Amino acid sequence: MWNDPIVDELHQIREARAAHCNNDLRAMADSLKILEQEWLSKFPELDVSLRCEANRLLPKLMSGEIRVSSGFKPDCTDAEKMI
């Protein structure tokens, strides 16, 4: 079976974070919220646009109204302009 190195790295990060938080899901979520706030403080211009997009798409994704295909490739031109 083929292993994707990016997925493997994400699994390692998740396992390290879980170990750091004693496998406490609430502590992990709180830790991620703190990291999110730190990241958004470095890039405040992304906060509004990301939240607006998430608020617009999340209900449609959760309801099944829209689906993401396995070949989905997001358009990153706007994000690249902000960085």
Cα-based angle 41, 28, 32 (whole degrees, multiple of 5): 15
Q: Give me the tens of pLDDT residue by residue for the chain, a chain 83 residues long.
A: 788 898 899 899 889 988 988 999 898 888 888 888 887 788 777 666 666 777 777 777 778 777 766 555 545 444 444 33
Q: So what's the pLDDT on residue 12?
A: 93
Question: Coil, strand, or helix at residue 52?
Answer: helix
Threshold 0.85, pTM exceeds: no
**Greatest CA separation for the chain:** 41
What 8-state DSSP symbol labels residue 23? T
Q: For residue 22, what pLDDT is reported?
A: 92
Task: State the Cα angle at 63 between 8 and 70, rounded to 5°.
Answer: 35
pLDDT, position 71: 57
